[in-house]
Structure 1
Amino acid sequence: MEDRFYVVNGEILQDVIKKVVEVKELLHKGMVKDITEGVKTVGISRSAYYKYKDKVFPLTEGAQSQKATIALLISHDPGVLSMVLDTIAANNGNVLTINQDLPINNSANVTITLDISSLNTDIRNVMNILGENPQVLKTKLIAMQ
């Protein structure tokens, strides 16, 4: 099933969803040292935080998303990362940062933050294109802002 995204007024969200966003913001701003402190501060369980943390993102008021961070698990084969970058560039994405872990069990985690303001398609479509390559084992949208 394809992920679908909606923009909704926060007033209609369950309190737990709002509190998950609040924990993420506290962590980002360094106002709490870790997730445990964050969930205690806002009054939710760790399990509630982990259930929703990858599913809810704050939207900057009046702004269309300009950056996206994606996580990939890729095969440790020559040219795979180059193919990923070529795919992003072919769709007018501009890579801002790349972090690649050392390969373990012939695969490596890669996190890429890109400017999506000039994409000629949706970020989900870019991820689907990447995921069609058998050397890209997993794709995940981490955040958009």
Structure 2
Amino acid sequence: MTSDYLFVNKKILPDYLDKVILARDLLASHEADTITDAVAKAGISRNTYYKYKDYVFSADSPTVGRHVVLSMILKDEAGVLNSVLTRLNELHTSVLTISQALPIGHKANVLISLDISKVTVPVDEITKELKELNHVRSVHMDAMD
């Protein structure tokens, strides 16, 4: 593995990591005036906060990633890719690359890399929005940096 970073679902992580993010958010939003106040509200120790504060981030945090790679399976029908691109534009993403394989079995595999630096919704909201489009069979986030 060449990277020190992993993109994992928080369901497999201990709860205190989510609480570290909460404490940091409380400080950033001025809902807590001190670290002591923030960790008390989050329900963790100061030691836990200091140990992990520089290592855990939420996927929708502005400090995490500006680029995302999505793989999708679309129905091979005119206008489907256009509807995906239109929705991505509405979400304020910027398409960097598009790679589409030759459609087989009425399905088209598409790989899209996006600049998400101007997006105002969480990253998982992008995949959710795309999954709701007609003729989009699946959407998967392959990478984020």
Deviation at 1:65, TM superposition (A): 0.5
- Measured in 2, the distance between the counterparts of 1:135 and 1:80 equals 7
Root-mean-square deviation over aligned CA pairs: 2.4
Compute the displacement of 1:132 (Å). 1.1
Question: Helix, strand or coil: the match of 1:125?
Answer: helix
Structure 1 unaligned blocks of 5 or more: 9-62
Aligned length: 90
Alignment correspondent of 2:116: 116
Does residue 67 in structure 1 map to residue 67 in structure 2? yes
Match of 1:121, SS state, is coil
Amino acid across the alignment from 2:77: D
2:87 aligned with 1:87: yes
Show structure 1 runs of 4+ deviating over 3 A: 3-6
TM-score, normalising length from structure 1?
Answer: 0.57
Show the counterpart of 2:47: none
Residue identity opposite 1:72 in structure 2: M
Larger Rg: 2
Q: Percent identity?
A: 30
Gaps of 5+ in 2: 1-7, 14-62
- Aligned-partner SS, 1:139: strand
The code of the aligned residue for 1:76 comes to D
Any idea what SS the aligned residue of 1:81 has?
Answer: helix
2:115 is the counterpart of 1:106 = no
Measured after TM superposition, the shift of residue 122 of structure 1 is: 1.6
2-structure distance, mates of 1:111, 1:117: 19
Give me the whole-angstrom Cα distance separating, in 2, the residues matched to 1:99 and 1:76: 15
CA deviations 1:109-132 (Å, max 9, x no partner) are: 000000001012122111111101
